[in-house]
Amino acid sequence: MLSRVAENTYWLARCIERAENTARIVTVNANLLLDLPKGIAPGWRPLVDITGSNALFEEHHRDYGERQVVRFLLGDERHAGSTMSALAAARENCRTIRDIVPREAWEQINGLYLFAGDQLQKGMTKTGRHAYLRALITGCQTIAGVLDGTMLHDQGYEFMRLGRYLERADMTTRIADVRSATLLPDADELRPYDNIQWVSVLKSMTAYQMYRRSEQIRVQRGPVLRFIFQNPLFPRSVRYCLEHARTCLERLPRNEASLRVTGRLARVLDGAELGRLSQLDLHAFVDDLQLGIADLHGEVATTWFPPPILVEDAA
């Protein structure tokens, strides 16, 4: 397989996953703010914290107001993690490999990109936001389903799945880290609201119902962390994503370095006693995981993708 095609299929999947995840966290945050009293609600800044784009945001905005954050996350083309930027990148990646992906997938991606742009202003409003974000999430899931169900399950397909699972694992760690850091102070009068925020962590990943089915206990910190990090059966847990990334890598040539990084990440994850970690220790643990995921991406890019084109200095 050509390295350029491998890179395009990988980033196609990452960008679709990114657009869906961004739409999810905006939806859940809006609902969370309705459930919490004004004085203790976390506001909109945590969403920018999750994306790690604070410097870019603060370059263009004075405060983390609802209107500014929603526009930044949904429609700001200067922000690579916004839904419009992610869908535009997915569309461009798909356009360059239209002979590799099914025509139906291209039509779905192109249609979702056009819808997202045409309806963006309506999606910025409080009355139109829910329907807009729901359509984006459903559209991204439809694209993933079309690709899974109609694309040849060859090496290109493995790069696509690899991109999807690395993006998903990265977002799960970011949500857990930022959301747990913005949970309420440990005060008796605030504990009922603490439960609401852990529910929001689960709902950010559409994990609430599966958590209740799997754990069969009330929502609380330790079990939630174990579920979203270590559950081997939930498709958005970090453990599930790493395991499926490993199976993708095993079907690719020259995979030794990438498999070593994956194995190290899995051992770190399996050995963690998440329910006993303090907030500081949890943050350090998540930092290590995110660095490991970045290392894995680096190995994938070095092994299979074309080297970046360097423009020599004219002088």
Amino acid 192: pLDDT: 63
Across 266-279, average pLDDT: 92
Higher pLDDT, 312 or 53: 53
Give Cβ neighbours of residue 57 (< 8 Å, ≥ 6 apart).
48, 64, 68, 69, 72, 79
- What is the rounded distance in angstroms from the CA atom of residue 20 to the CA atom of residue 201? 16
Amino acid 34: pLDDT: 81
Work out the pLDDT band at 182, boundaries 50, 70, 90: low
Nearest residue to 177 (alpha-carbon basis) of 283, 303, 55, 309:
283
Q: Are 219 and 199 within 8 A, CB to CB?
A: yes
Q: Are 209 and 230 within 8 A, CB to CB?
A: no
Which tokens sit at 272? Answer: 């963690």
Amino acid 279: pLDDT: 84
| pLDDT exceeds cutoff 50 at 189 | no
Which tokens sit at 121? Answer: 């202003």
Across 221-234, average pLDDT: 95
Please state which of the ranges 33-47, 115-129, 221-235, 251-265 shows the lowest mean pLDDT: 33-47
Nearest residue to 175 (alpha-carbon basis) of 302, 5, 27:
27
Q: pTM for the full model?
A: 0.93
Nearest residue to 21 (alpha-carbon basis) of 165, 159, 230, 155:
165
* Distance, C-alpha 315 to centroid of its chain: 42
| pLDDT exceeds cutoff 90 at 188 | no
Q: Are 85 and 77 within 8 A, CB to CB?
A: yes
Amino acid 41: pLDDT: 66
| pLDDT exceeds cutoff 60 at 314 | no
Please state which of the ranges 159-173, 256-270, 296-310 shows the lowest mean pLDDT: 296-310
* Distance, C-alpha 227 to centroid of its chain: 17
Across 82-102, average pLDDT: 96
* Distance, C-alpha 155 to centroid of its chain: 23
Higher pLDDT, 19 or 218: 19
Length of the chain: 315
| pLDDT exceeds cutoff 70 at 156 | yes
Distances (CA, A) of 52 to 25, 41, 227, 251, 285: 14, 20, 24, 32, 17
Amino acid 191: pLDDT: 58
Q: Are 46 and 180 within 8 A, CB to CB?
A: no
Amino acid 313: pLDDT: 41
Q: How many CB atoms lie within 10 A of CB 182?
A: 14
Query: Around 21, how many Cα atoms within 13 Å sit in the side-chain half-sphere?
Result: 27
Amino acid 42: pLDDT: 75
Q: Are 162 and 11 within 8 A, CB to CB?
A: no
Please state which of the ranges 102-106, 181-185, 238-242, 309-313 shows the lowest mean pLDDT: 309-313
- What is the rounded distance in angstroms from the CA atom of residue 45 to the CA atom of residue 49? 6
Amino acid 1: pLDDT: 62
Q: What is the mean pLDDT of the chain?
A: 91
Amino acid 35: pLDDT: 78
Alpha-helical (H) ranges within 233-315 are 238-250, 256-271, 279-304
Q: Are 15 and 168 within 8 A, CB to CB?
A: no
Amino acid at 292: G
Amino acid 187: pLDDT: 44
Amino acid 37: pLDDT: 74
Q: How many CB atoms lie within 10 A of CB 112?
A: 23
Amino acid at 19: A
Nearest residue to 138 (alpha-carbon basis) of 168, 171, 108:
108
- What is the rounded distance in angstroms from the CA atom of residue 119 to the CA atom of residue 112? 10
Amino acid 315: pLDDT: 40
Amino acid 251: pLDDT: 97
- What is the rounded distance in angstroms from the CA atom of residue 16 to the CA atom of residue 234? 20
